[in-house]
Amino acid sequence: MHIGSEGKALIERWEGRRSTAYQDTAGLWTIGIGHLIGPDEQWMRTATLSAAQIDELFRRDIAWAEAATARLFPSVSKQNQFDALVSFVYNLGETQVRNGTLDDLIAEGATPESISAKWLQYNRSGGGITSGLVARRTAEVKLYWSHLWKAALVCLFIAAALFTGAAYSFLA
């Protein structure tokens, strides 16, 4: 499975797009779209990346996050859920996610409430809760469950149409 446009947009919205290096809230050197500068990439700390270089880093980082997400959450088959989880893994890293319990809850088929509550707890960076992570986790949870909202809206529309008799005009 590959991340869709909604997932990519979610990641870029929360990571930002920067051509020069900066230290994130945890003090890690970062560039591009949330790309952590590795030991063999120290030259990036003083570089100015082109749009093409940023896109290439993002493509490679997304490929890594997709593979990690597939390993951590093999039962996920809905695009919106995969996209939300790729964003989560992209931000936290595979080891952090594996050491947590969200993957277990999803694998066990836990309730939406318990999955959402656990997901929203991943809101700390640099020792404290950050408003950016609270908002990002909320957006990820919203995307993860969006298929349910869409189904609920369709059911609501059908019920309203049946209640008002409008459904008969569709059938005629």
Q: Which residues are catalytic?
A: 15
Closest CA to 47 of 55, 61, 37, 59: 37
Q: Give the whole-angstrom CA distance, residue 92 versus residue 86.
A: 10
Q: Give the whole-angstrom CA distance, residue 69 versus residue 97.
A: 9
Q: Give the whole-angstrom CA distance, residue 1 versus residue 12.
A: 19
Tokens standing for residue 52: 């093409």
Query: 158 vs 6, 148, 149, 168, 172, CA distance in Å?
Result: 27, 15, 14, 11, 16
Tokens standing for residue 164: 């008002």
| CA dihedral (85, 37, 5, 63) positive or negative | negative
How long a stretch of residues is the chain?
Answer: 172
